[in-house]
A and B are shown apart, each in its own frame.
Chain A
Amino acid sequence: MPHRLHMITRERFSDPLTIWRDPEFVFDFADAASVLQKWRDPRKGQSSREALVLGMSLENAVAVKNIRRRLLVTPMEPMEEEDLIRELEILEYLGNEALPDALLKVNMGELQTKEEIESFIQKHLKGFEGTADYKKQLTESLRTLEELTDIEITDRFGHKMRIKREEVMDFLGNQLGNWLTRQLPARPVNETIVRPRGKIHKKKTFEHSILTSQSIPPKSIDTDDIVIIKKDRNAQIYLAVDISQSMRNVVQGTHFSRLEGALLTSLAIFYYLKKQGRTRRTNQKAFRTAVVPISKNRRIVSSEGELERFLLTAQAKGRTPMSASIRSAIDHARIKKNTQNRDIHIIIVTDGRPNELIPGYDAKPSTSLLHYFEEEREVIDPVARNCYIELNSLLRDVVKDRSRAWKVSYFMIGSERLRHTDLWRDTRRALRGIAYPVIIDPSRMDILAKTIITESMRLGQSTSS
């Protein structure tokens, strides 16, 4: 009576282990800002670490239960069985020893990040017998254990998206990086750049002169036509971000602050350049980006781990010790330039005046700036004046460097009215011969990243001509 036998395939019988999720999602800058806000929420941090361990334990418990069942029921080959028993032992140990200890440490506030939790568990397993090969496998399985659905956002069409907490930075960075790429012309930075150094690109120069002289072959080749290839040059980019108190202001018409806008911008540029570097197909990284928060404790945020910490902990508070931060960036850059022969590009983003001095610094500014302050701006606050003098001295020093490997861009957050203020005049004068400050409308934090990339590119070209 074979009519009762039915053959079942995936087409006829759907997989019962399905999760019904909504894949469509439209992501924009405001969404990114809300993700960042949720991510930075310190209360959520603690509970999410706990939830991470809890999630791991749940999964561990399910796995242990299933392995026990499998051992009882399924006929197996010797090797397979041995492996499974070993895995069971490890998972049982994880569930009984490592994870409870980890949760305890998290409760006590001793383990702060996902990496710390992971390395704690790894350390726990050190005393456990097992081959190195197995440990590697375990790292992988630990990685798969990290399942935490913590941050949830809704786009304006009502689609939901959930992002794992430890993937937030990568996710946001990639989203913003791609989004920035879409806004910019196709090959912006790493092609040929008109610069008075490096090799002459004969073909490009020829083409250029054809265009200017409007004839083939060209009648003459002017100096303007010369295109110089920027070959094998690697760049180190410093993004100095103001995180003083005023950055706490909410961006008009949105729900996020200037600081959050600036953080997202840094993240976008970091990932954008990371991506650009990747497309160059060299084994070197063409771009290295470092974020320099303008704050009391001078630090250079250059790795992804540091960036993550910075994004999580940055607070808009205190004064603006700009010259000191720039100085530490310059010191850092000098080493990079001398050891790795990199071009240095310092990008400064601020929303006001610098207002803290470097103690004991002997500034050597341009005489014209001194004249300016003496003759036209007698009423200026002496601290602000000295700050500008320090800034001028520091930046002039590097821009005048004979290697011509230094470039500075300066962005000011403020409305167009800023052009009629003393702040603008002072800044312009302080940066004369170094960079031309660019004003960015504070309500358009979302195009900050685009402006920074395009403007600093244009500056690079214009200084050379």
Chain B
Amino acid sequence: MDNPRVVEIYKQARKDFEEFVGETPEEYKVLVFIDPELHSSLYQVMELGGSPHAVLSQEMIENLRKSRARNYLADECISVFPSKPTMIYMSLPFELEQSPERDFALRIMFIHAFAHAYFAEKSATNDSEMLTQIYRMDMIIKELMMNNAYGLKEARQIGWGLPYFQDMVAVIRLLSTFGVQDFYLPPESSRNTSLFQNFLLEIITFLNKRAEAVKKKNLSGILIEAFANYIHTEIATKILEKGEYKFNTLPRLLKPIYGPPMNQFSLELIKRAFEDKLEQPREIIQEVLEMKGDLDLLNKAGGGPDARKIIKDVRERTQSTNVYWHADSTGYWRKTWNIYEGEWDQIDDYVKFVHRFQVVNVGQWLESSKAFQFYGYVKVDSKPIYVFEIDDESVNLEQLLILHNHSLLYRQNFKMPTPGFPDIIMFKKLDRMIVGTLLSVGSLDDNPMSPWDIPIYTRAIDISKELLDFVKAQKEAQAKEEETDVSTSVLYGTSKIRKEVDYSHLSKMSQSKLASVRILIDEIVTQQESA
């Protein structure tokens, strides 16, 4: 190794871990990034896609790249993917200067990562097993995509292949995770007709399998963090008490594993759950490893209401101590309060939800999540337009086209290479506004060169009272004009051909959303008239 200091600290950390737990994890890999930028990108991909090799949509990647360019991405210093073997990714700013604080921070981080790896090996949850499967599937999906799209490009000069597949994989993965699995699958016999068909068949099957795997995974976010935080905190306190280093407070470098509310809450939770056994850490570890998910730990700590009381306590207590993790003391750090509050609210909601519905795995949790909602459809001249809401930043207009092309909510005669399925209206919440987006496909004259060549028509509107009022006023003015304009219509006949619009298949939705659906549908009606 080129850096003996890292190796020494690494060995030291293993020793610490062995002393405290009695054993060390064996199945893991530590990957040290020389380039911290690369590490933060990887962290994002893991966070958003679920594994280090997940394919993200172009939209998301472009936005992330910009965020990265402006240095908005978190420098984690450490991130762990608890598959088998556990992947421990770290970037090493530590070698820049030699200071005992850095050494200590690195040591504790290694211990934190070892705890994750140990948990992945020994725990009774199916976490690492499922993640290993997902990891493998993502690898295969990525390879499939690269090989097939590369073939398309090389053999048939189809340049749109790669970006289209990238988006397709990302969008279908997202939706299949939310439980929407009605995607267009070409018939098995078409496997030989084109690479595209073959690829579609393969990839969608894989993505559906992946979604199944994700759903089977136990909910164990709090449990894992509790375990890892408990171990590293205990060891760190001991090291500091022993006076191995000149300082006896935690260095700020440890912010990533001490600062966030999740870390603080999970540690407190495990301590409260095992109040009577605080002197026998190995027993605590043993018992935690036998737990199957977050619900077990919450029950051990006294169930939902007690856990929520812990949240309330820690939340209030840390309001004054969080400043420690922030460099600025002139008052700017106060502006981070709402960020902490937001995080706490999320944890609170999660705990409340898990306790109320006694949720064990991700599938159950996603079923009742509001990230994806289907509202039924509107019929315009027997052609349905589907309405749904999705809360995810990776879907924009381009990705909407892919959704359109592959959602098998409605079948019609289609033309190759991609089928044109129903038109869609999608709602999405963006900060304060809720945007309604319509994607409608015009009539096809001949076979398009690529899925992007389909004549599409899109509108995006902000659902606000102002807009609804504006449209209403406009309509009234138009109606008045028509009244006075009778003579022309007598002369030339009315240009408008009334279309049958049927709203009866829509499920319940808020008044403003319904109103904006009407606006967008109007848009479709007039568009097709003039086209």
Contacts and interface: CB of A to CB of B under 8 A. Distances in A.
Interface string B69-98: 110111111000000000000000000000
B29 A6 contact: yes
Contacts of A76: 326-327
Contacts of A43: 457, 527
- Interface on chain A toward B: helix, strand, loop, or mixed SS? helix
B470 A6 contact: no
Interface stretch (B214-222, B229-237, B248-256): B248-256
Contacts of B11: 1-2
B497 interface: no
Contact of B30 (A4, A66, A84): A4
B462 interface: yes
Which of B10, B158, B458 counts the most chain A CB atoms within 10 A? B458
Nearest to A54: B460
Contacts, number: 246
Interface string B293-335: 0000000000000000000000000000000011111101101
A10 B11 CA distance: 26
A60 B76 CA distance: 21
B432 A100 contact: yes
B256 A74 contact: yes
B68 interface: yes
B7 A5 contact: yes
Contact of B34 (A8, A16, A55, A108): A8
B345 to A, nearest CB: 13
Contact of B461 (A13, A74, A103): A103
A216 interface: no
Contacts of A144: 66, 69-70
Interface in B257-312: 259-260
Given A17-B41, A158-B159, A66 B73 contact: yes
A434 B397 CA distance: 55
Contacts of B29: 4, 6
Interface in A124-176: 141, 144-145, 147, 149, 152, 154, 157-160
A5 B30 contact: yes
Given A8-B38, A75-B255, A92 B431 contact: yes
Given A70-B74, A104-B466, A107-B462, A62 B157 contact: no
B interface, how many residues as a size bin?
35 or more
A145 B63 CA distance: 9
A74 B66 CA distance: 19
Interface stretch (A18-26, A113-121, A441-449): A18-26
A80 interface: yes
A57 B62 contact: no
A455 interface: no
A72 B28 contact: no
Contacts of B384: none
Given A19-B58, A85-B332, A7 B2 contact: yes
Contact of A7 (B34, B60, B449): B34
Given A22-B159, A108-B467, A145-B66, 10 more contacts: A4-B30, A6-B32, A8-B38, A17-B44, A20-B149, A54-B397, A73-B76, A73-B256, A95-B430, A107-B462
Interface of A: 1-2, 4-10, 13, 15-22, 24, 43, 46-47, 50-51, 53-55, 57-78, 80-82, 84-85, 87-89, 92, 95-97, 99-100, 103-104, 107-108, 141, 144-145, 147, 149, 152, 154, 157-160
7 tightest Cβ-Cβ pairs between the two chains A and B: A22-B159, A20-B162, A95-B431, A158-B157, A100-B433, A50-B460, A62-B63
22 contacts: A5-B1, A16-B38, A16-B42, A22-B160, A24-B159, A51-B460, A53-B460, A54-B397, A54-B437, A54-B460, A58-B59, A58-B396, A61-B431, A71-B326, A73-B74, A75-B325, A84-B72, A85-B332, A99-B431, A104-B462, A158-B156, A160-B452
